[in-house]
Structure 1
C-alpha cells in the first residue's frame, strides 16, 4: 500500500487532473493525502468535491511546498510515500510499476520511474545516461545524475522511515528542496529505477513558468557545497557540475556579486569538460563563435 502526498497551493485549474490520474491507477491500494497549503484560489473547493474514501484533505497555513510535503509524510499511515505535484500527472501504470519493482527488489528504500516533460512541443521523454530499457539498482547515482535527471519528486516512492531519518524536506529552501532530499537519501540508501516514463512534469502548469525564472537558490548551493567532505564516489564531481549549471546562467542575467561567491567554491575551476557540459546542458543553441566566447568568459570567472 502507498501513501500519495500532493502538496497544494493555488492550482485550481490543474489539481483535478492530478487527482484523477491517481484515482484511475491500475494499482488501487493507496491513500491520497492532499495538503492544502493555505490556497487563496478555489483549489480547496475543487478537491472537496471529489468523493473517494481513499482521499484525505489536510488544511494548513501557507508555509511552502516543503512544509506541506513534510506534513503529508507525518500523517501517512503506510510505510511507502509517493509524491505528486498538483500540476503534474501520472500515467495509469505508474503505481503498478513501482509495486512490481518493490516485489522484485525488496531491499530498496527508493523506487522510481522516469519523467516525461510536457511543454509547447508536447510530451517528451527526458533522456538521461541510463541504458535503454534499464531496470535495476542505481550503483553510482552522482555520476549518473551529472548526465541527466534520475529522480523527480513526482516519480519517486520513498521509504517513510528513510525520509524521517534524513529530516524530510528542508523548509528553509524555496527551490531545489527535492534535490537536497535525494542528496541525503543517496548517501546510504539503496535505489531502484526502471527507465520508463510514467510521470509527466508539466512545464505549462499554473505559475510554473514564473517559478522556473527564480530557481537560483544560494542557500541550496552552499548547503550542497558542504557535502564535499562526505566520501561518496563521484559526489564532488556532481557538486561542481550542479553549482556551475545552476549559477552560470544567473551570472550573466543577474547580480554577478550574488553568484560569484558560490562559483568561486567550485573545486574543478579549470575543468574544460565540466564547463562545456554546463554550456550544453542549458541548451544554449548559439553559433560556435558565441559558444567559444561564452567558454572563455567562464574560464575567466572560474
Structure 2
C-alpha cells in the first residue's frame, strides 16, 4: 500500500504537528499532504517547518493563497497526491497505531474500494471537556455492526434503523475508482458538512467495507475553536447548516438516474423536514399545512427526525 494522507490545515498551529507525526509512524504512508487554507494563526509556519523536517511531508496552498474551506482544500490535496490510496486526517485529530491494520488485509481483495473504522475522542483541555462532554462523552463514533457494502448507503440515509456513523478520519479509499466514479469530489458549495455529503455519494458509488469497528483507529480532537464542534453543540444552529446539506443531497439524488425511487423519496422527505424545521414560524406552519394536503408522508417522516421535532415544537 502507498497511502497519501490528506490534511487540510486551518487555524491548527497547536495540533498539526501531532497529526502529521501520527501519520508518519506507518510504513504504508507514502506521503502526508498538508494543504494550508489561509489560517489566521501561525499554522503556515508550522507546516513549513514540518515539510522541511520530514521528506514525506508536502505542503501546498491554493493558487491565490486564499481561504476556500475544507472541501476544496481536500480536493487540492487529492489532486496533488501520488499514492495508490487516499486517507484523510483533520489537522486537530490523530491516528492510532492500529490505523491501517484492517486495511492491509482487506485491500488484498481488489473488489474492496474503501475501508472505514471507528473514531475515538480526546479533549485537549478541561474547558473543552466541560463544554462538549455531553455531546461526545467517551464513546466511539462507529458503525454498530459489519454491513455488506450495498447496505452502507441506505444505512447512512437512516433507512436501516440503527446503523451508526463513520468519520472521514477513519476512511481509506483506492484512488483509481475514486477518481473514476466520484465526480465532483468534495463540493465547493458547502462550507460545513461537506465531508458528510461526500461520504453519502462515496458510499453509493464505491464498495466500502468495515474495518475495525469496536476499537478506535483514529481520534477526534475536541477543543473550543473547532467549527463543526460548535455546530454540533448548537453554538451554530444545526438545522440551518443541515438544510444546505440535504438540499445538495436531494439535488444530487434527483439527477442520479440509478438511485431507486424509494430512496430518492426518502431523501426528499429528509430535505423537506429540515427545510420546514428551519423556516420562520409563520412560514413553517404554512409549509406544514401545504404538505399535509399535498404530501402527508413527508410530515410523518419529519416527525421521526429528532431535529425536525426539536425545532418544530
- CA 1:250–1:189 in 2, change beyond 3 Å: closer, same or farther? same
Indicate yes or no: 2:159 matched with 1:144.
no
Whose strand proportion is higher, 1 or 2? Answer: 1
Q: Shift in Å at residue 158 of structure 1?
A: 1.9
* Alignment partners' CA distance in 2, 1:16 and 1:102: 28
> Does 2:17 align with 1:13?
no
The match for 2:69 is 64
TM superposition score normalised by structure 1 = 0.76
Q: Which of residues 256, 263, 278 is equivalent to 1:235?
A: 263
Q: Compute the displacement of 1:78 (Å).
A: 1.5
Task: Flag the structure with higher helix content.
Answer: 2
Alignment equivalent of 1:269, drawn from 298, 302, 311: 298
Task: Work out the CA distance in 2 between the residues paired with 1:223 and 1:259.
Answer: 24
Aligned length: 276
Determine the C-alpha separation between the residues in 1 that align with 2:164 and 2:88.
16
Q: What does the per-residue CA deviation read over 1:6-37, in whole Å, with 9 as the maximum and x for residues that have no partner?
A: 00011112212211211224x44421000011
Aligned match of 1:97:
102
Q: Aligned-pair distance for 1:64?
A: 1.1
The alignment partner of 1:170 has SS state of coil
Deviation at 1:239, TM superposition (A): 2.1
Q: SS of the residue aligned with 1:49?
A: helix
Within 5 Å, give how 1:200-239 maps onto structure 2: 200-204=219-223, 206-208=225-227, 209-212=229-232, 213=236, 215=238, 216-217=240-241, 218-226=243-251, 227-228=253-254, 230-232=257-259, 235-236=263-264, 239=267
The root-mean-square deviation of aligned C-alpha atoms, in Å, is 3.5
Describe the SS at the equivalent of 1:269: helix
For residues 56-75 of structure 1, the C-alpha deviation after alignment (integer angstroms, 9 at most, x for no partner) is 11122211111110110000
How far apart are the structure 2 equivalents of 1:91 and 1:259? Answer: 48
Q: Classify 1:100/1:28 alpha carbon distance in 2 versus 1 (closer, same or farther; 3 Å).
A: same
CA drift of 1:238 comes to 5.4
Contact 1:9 1:36 in 2 (8 A): yes
Counterpart position of 1:160: 175
CA contact 2:4–2:83 (8 Å) conserved in 1 = yes
Q: Which runs of 5+ in 2 are unaligned?
A: 124-128
The structural deviation recorded for 1:141 is 1.8
In the other structure, the counterpart of 2:126 is: none
Using a 3 Å threshold, how does the CA distance of structure 1 residues 148 and 247 change in structure 2: closer, same or farther? farther
Distance 1:40 1:296 in 2: 34
Any idea what the Cα deviations from partners look like across 1:187-208, whole Å, max 9, x if unmatched? 3321111224212223336333
Identify if the C-alpha distance between structure 1 residues 86 and 261 changes in structure 2 by more than 3 Å, giving closer, same or farther: farther
Partner of residue 39, structure 2: 39
